[in-house]
Chain A
Amino acid sequence: MRTVSFVDRIELEFHGNVITQTMVLEDIDNDMGNELIVGNIDGDISIFKGESPNAWKKATISGMLTCLAVGKVHIPKKNSLVCMTAEGWCYMFDVSSKTSAQSVSAAEDDSDSRLLKPVFSQELPANAKVMCLADIDSDDHIEMVIGYSDRVVRAFRWHETPNSDTGQFVLLQKWQLAGQIGSITINYNHDHQPQLMVSQPGATFVTLQVKPAFRHIKSDSYLDRLCGSGSNVKSTLERSESFASVGGRGVDSSCGEYQQPSSRNHSPRGQQSSSVRKSELCASKSDILSTSTTPVSAMPVDPFLSQGDQLLKTYKETMKMMERHSVSRDKPEASSRLCKSESFCDQVDKLTTEGESNTEQDRTSGNSGARLPLTLKSSMEGLESDPLMGSGAQGSPHRSNTPTSSPKGSQESILERSLGCINNILDGSFDDDVFKPSIIYHPLALMQMRNKDTSTVIVGGINRGRPSQSGNGVEEAKPGATYYALATLDGSLLLVENDSILWSLQVDNYLFALSKLDVTGNGKEEVVCCSWNGQTYIVNHSKEIVRYQFPDSVAAFCAGSFSLRDGCNTPCFVYATFNNRIYVYPNIALPRVESTNLLNVMGRLPESRELLGKLNIAEDDVDSIRRLYHYCLYGQPGKK
């Protein structure tokens, strides 16, 4: 395997524990040159610009910083820095390019000008783990997709508050997955439509479908419509919803979020006191919305934690039932969709009227519309009411009355796992266009994996080669599909196109960070993968590998473009170590990935073949060709 050594590096001092999710190379101040933004889990953020070893800007947020991302979130064509903490707070920073010029030239010790203040903050669901800012539904607006450590993926959209220059994040859609989330990425299919991909353990991933009905929400009116159009079917539907593929929890929050502005009526639920407190907190901190949201992270409390076993039992029963019902397999799914969509509105109603908050509501389910005959629904009823009979029959009704505060975690996880499994089964068997499954599981080479539970990261949108060099890639229309790559902690690296594995690689290192970067400058993006012990692999599309051994243990790694001088981005690797140092390698460009020699390179050129033909040298006459090249290169002194 070819190995290289990179020598030029910039050493940056940054204290604290850095994770890969909190180290990004992006253009934060919109000057066309990328900066390095690093945060530690204590909430300290530093922005490094150019060759300076000192931080250019600093910021501190409270809470455990888990995700950093840069994107054009709230101001069109202006990049902002979005930070998520594990506690659920979302902070947004704007770094203006105006101040950038000043502070680069002067005021080195002026700490005030270097300190950034968040322009916006909002409390969102807690336990954010990975974040991806991308336009997931081709509406030219960047969505914020967050993966949570409780196996939930939520997509948020920036929603401008009318008559105000600010706004808030509103929940677009929520997906409940079966396995832990490694990373979230965007890939482009043949029509250059974005696909949201989330890695799952064992070098697998799921694609999350964005509900078409929500692709074009532009105003509250649609929401209002939704809220107004409640349906009569209630209990069965809401139960069925929880069973359905995208189902899950936290819907109450999302719903509430959408709900509050339009309907004043606060839910008279058990934890209302806490919700009020939280919303006050939100308001005071973010000074955006006086109507600021119900507690997004306030999980509905379940009074029947002890029902876990029963739930499991019922789940098993459900599975049996599923098998019985498998004759009309698509029906349950269809009806479940239907149920979901209706139950959403239903739920809204309930929230405003009854204060029912425990329902497993999916706010994203508005795609299908109530088009299915009721027979389908009824056929589904028996099946769907079962798994949640416990919660439906006992939990919900009791809930409003006896708001105990028992934690819901374990039960929830059992519930969610079962849901996730069923979702996968349902989704796999479902191909109707109207009722498109919202989660599609891609097992890839799961059967060949050494360890089926190994954590996996995915990166998508790997450019497969265009004449010009690729930029950020999201906003410019690129024709054609892109590759995506997966790496597992036990050392598998895969390059995949449309579910077919182009190559796979097995190494003896713990691969934990995966990036894409055009190292050679030929328009094709190479897969860059880093292991904990510093071994870095650069692999091109034809599985040619270059290795680099970083001489230290790696806490976080990212590969991308970095601007050493004004606006001139060069590919670089960034390694964060465990001893308070970050190393930027700005000089990593390679002319090619594979090992080659002059004969091979020349042999590939059509012109050289032509010329050799004129000299009457056969192409396989290596000796003559070698002498010819030697003479051409060295045999003409003073030719320059």
Chain B
Amino acid sequence: MTSKQLYWTDAHFCGLRSQTNVYGLSKITSHDGLTRLLAVSIDGHFITVEYQKSFDNRLIPITREDEFFMASGLHGPDTVEDLEIVSVDMIYQDRNKRDIILAVTYLKLAPPFQEKAPSAYMNIYFLVAQKDSHINLMDAGAMSQIQPIMLDYFPLKLMHYQVDMDQGQAETCFILSGNDNKIHVYSQGKNMLEFFEDQAMVENYFPEFLDVNGCVTQMEFKKLDSTRRLTALGVQSGLVTLFLVNTVAHQILKKLETDMDSSITSIQLFSHQVTAPRPDFLVTPDDSPSENVSSEKHMDEPVNMLITSAIDPAVVFCDVLESDLTKRHVLPLSNSQDVVLCSCIMDIDFDGENEILIGTYGQVLQGTS
């Protein structure tokens, strides 16, 4: 615990009209450092939060709320009551970070008297960037192209990952876990805009996805270096599996498991220290070797894993690679405030070391260093 008293004030605040779930928030950062947030409530209200600059160079927080995404869906004029948003994610289409691709998974609920199971969909929106790169997400969404994908399973966590292809290129794909105990990968076809479910990619690049036994509620990836990747998968039963994968040979090097007794709400893979590269204009000839050493050191830094689950307190496993999940630390007081729903790793006090923030259903945010 830090002895320093941190005093936070709201930079901006906006209330949600109805509740959201643990998958309902997405952020995207543009090439010029502008971060936009998209929050989606279960009943289909999209809320974007972004900053715009006024003519006199003041920052103006802009919050916009709309439900147009659903109204423009393919499957007829849906009313909001029929929908339940599950998860949302945003990626940039290209390296220039101009065009945004937004993916939303949702359930379409049949009217109660029909007694039919809901049907699941994923809509992918291609937001076309305008000349003005600061276009509001809402405006872009209204003009977007839509690709609806029908899902034969109920979607859960939706995220994206940049896969290093064998040909040396990188491709960003959406990864979606489902209640069919599988993890699905959606990638863009070559020279195509549309996304399709890419089973070949799962087999070629994500060998760990073939080894899932349970309904995956959370997953997390961390690239250790150019050849190794850590993948943590948490399932509904509370089992967390940690894979060390060779990303060149596409083999599982190591598989570790731990059981948490309740559904996994979030997983974080992080190192203790923050890596911030020294800008090149600060590098002087005489200390550049040491700089290299320190960057090497960053690579070797032990990786810790934070697991929060519905009932149990938050747990941190230190140095998961070397200690094989034996160094287990329970975060003090982390079960004092209802269910821990989310977590974040951040250096909040600028000491170069990461702190753990956990958010609880009791609306209390706790920080631990």
**Is there a chain B Cβ closer than 8 Å to A544's Cβ?**
yes
Check A628 against B279 for contact (C-beta < 8 Å).
Answer: yes
Check A4 against B353 for contact (C-beta < 8 Å).
Answer: no
Which residue of A591, A630, A636 contacts B9 across the interface (Cβ within 8 Å)?
A591
CA gap between A3 and B59 in the complex, in Å:
13
Size category of the B interface is 20 to 34
CA gap between A628 and B276 in the complex, in Å:
10
Given the known inter-chain contacts A5-B13, A591-B9, A616-B281, please indicate yes or no for A634 contacting B350, CB distance below 8 A: yes
Check B281 against A617 for contact (C-beta < 8 Å).
Answer: yes
Task: Tell me the dominant secondary structure on chain A's binding face.
Answer: loop
**Is there a chain B Cβ closer than 8 Å to A160's Cβ?**
no
**Is there a chain B Cβ closer than 8 Å to A373's Cβ?**
no
Check A596 against B347 for contact (C-beta < 8 Å).
Answer: no
Which residue of A5, A544, A628 contacts B282 across the interface (Cβ within 8 Å)?
A628
Check A3 against B63 for contact (C-beta < 8 Å).
Answer: yes
- Residues of chain B contacted by A630 (CB below 8 angstroms): 276
Shortest distance between the CB of A428 and any CB in chain B (Å): 37
Given the known inter-chain contacts A2-B12, A626-B33, please indicate yes or no for A635 contacting B353, CB distance below 8 A: no
**Chain B residue nearest to A7 in the complex (CB):** B363
Which residue of A549, A589, A600 contacts B15 across the interface (Cβ within 8 Å)?
A549
- Residues of chain B contacted by A617 (CB below 8 angstroms): 281
**Is there a chain B Cβ closer than 8 Å to A99's Cβ?**
no
- Residues of chain B contacted by A628 (CB below 8 angstroms): 279, 281-282
CA gap between A7 and B8 in the complex, in Å:
12
Shortest distance between the CB of B93 and any CB in chain A (Å): 22
CA gap between A360 and B59 in the complex, in Å:
59
Check A594 against B59 for contact (C-beta < 8 Å).
Answer: yes
- Residues of chain B contacted by A626 (CB below 8 angstroms): 33
Check A637 against B273 for contact (C-beta < 8 Å).
Answer: yes
Check A640 against B60 for contact (C-beta < 8 Å).
Answer: no
**Chain A residue nearest to B276 in the complex (CB):** A635
CA gap between A635 and B273 in the complex, in Å:
9
Q: Which of A595, A617, A637 has the most CB of B within 10 A?
A: A637
Within 8 A of B (CB), among A3-33: 3-5, 7
Shortest distance between the CB of A552 and any CB in chain B (Å): 14
- Residues of chain B contacted by A590 (CB below 8 angstroms): 9
CA gap between A589 and B33 in the complex, in Å:
29
Q: Which of A544, A597, A600, A636 has the most CB of B within 10 A?
A: A636
CA gap between A615 and B281 in the complex, in Å:
8
Q: Which of A5, A596, A635 has the most CB of B within 10 A?
A: A635
- Residues of chain B contacted by A639 (CB below 8 angstroms): 351-352
CA gap between A386 and B279 in the complex, in Å:
87
CA gap between A627 and B283 in the complex, in Å:
13
Check B60 against A595 for contact (C-beta < 8 Å).
Answer: yes
**Is there a chain A Cβ closer than 8 Å to B51's Cβ?**
yes
Within 8 A of A (CB), among B332-356: 347, 350-353
**Chain B residue nearest to A627 in the complex (CB):** B279
Given the known inter-chain contacts A595-B60, A596-B59, please indicate yes or no for A638 contacting B353, CB distance below 8 A: yes
**Is there a chain A Cβ closer than 8 Å to B274's Cβ?**
yes
Given the known inter-chain contacts A3-B63, A594-B58, A595-B60, please indicate yes or no for A635 contacting B277, CB distance below 8 A: yes
**Is there a chain B Cβ closer than 8 Å to A326's Cβ?**
no
CA gap between A631 and B291 in the complex, in Å:
13
Q: Which of A7, A627, A638 has the most CB of B within 10 A?
A: A627
CA gap between A600 and B58 in the complex, in Å:
9
Check B12 against A4 for contact (C-beta < 8 Å).
Answer: yes
**Is there a chain B Cβ closer than 8 Å to A605's Cβ?**
no
Report A608-631 CB contacts with B as 1/0, cut-off 8 Å: 000000011100001010111011
- Residues of chain B contacted by A622 (CB below 8 angstroms): 32
Check B51 against A595 for contact (C-beta < 8 Å).
Answer: yes
- Residues of chain A contacted by B273 (CB below 8 angstroms): 637-638
Check B59 against A631 for contact (C-beta < 8 Å).
Answer: no
**Is there a chain B Cβ closer than 8 Å to A327's Cβ?**
no
Shortest distance between the CB of B160 and any CB in chain A (Å): 24
**Is there a chain B Cβ closer than 8 Å to A633's Cβ?**
yes
Given the known inter-chain contacts A634-B276, A635-B277, please indicate yes or no for A4 contacting B58, CB distance below 8 A: no
Which residue of A589, A595, A600, A635 contacts B352 across the interface (Cβ within 8 Å)?
A635
Shortest distance between the CB of B280 and any CB in chain A (Å): 9
Report B42-78 CB contacts with A as 1/0, cut-off 8 Å: 0000000001000001111101000000000000000
CA gap between A322 and B342 in the complex, in Å:
77
Given the known inter-chain contacts A2-B61, A600-B59, please indicate yes or no for A631 contacting B278, CB distance below 8 A: yes
Check B281 against A633 for contact (C-beta < 8 Å).
Answer: no
B-side interface residues toward A, CB under 8 Å? 9-15, 32-33, 51, 57-61, 63, 273-279, 281-282, 347, 350-353, 363
The 10 closest A-B pairs by CB, nearest first: A635-B276, A637-B352, A4-B10, A634-B276, A627-B279, A637-B273, A634-B274, A5-B13, A595-B59, A640-B351
| 13 intermolecular pairs with C-beta atoms under 8 Å apart | A1-B61, A3-B12, A4-B12, A4-B13, A595-B61, A596-B59, A597-B59, A622-B32, A631-B278, A633-B276, A633-B347, A637-B351, A640-B351
Name 19 extra pairs, CB < 8 A, besides A4-B13, A594-B59, A600-B59.
Answer: A2-B12, A3-B10, A5-B13, A549-B15, A594-B58, A616-B281, A624-B281, A627-B279, A633-B276, A633-B350, A634-B347, A635-B277, A636-B352, A637-B273, A637-B351, A637-B353, A638-B351, A639-B351, A640-B352
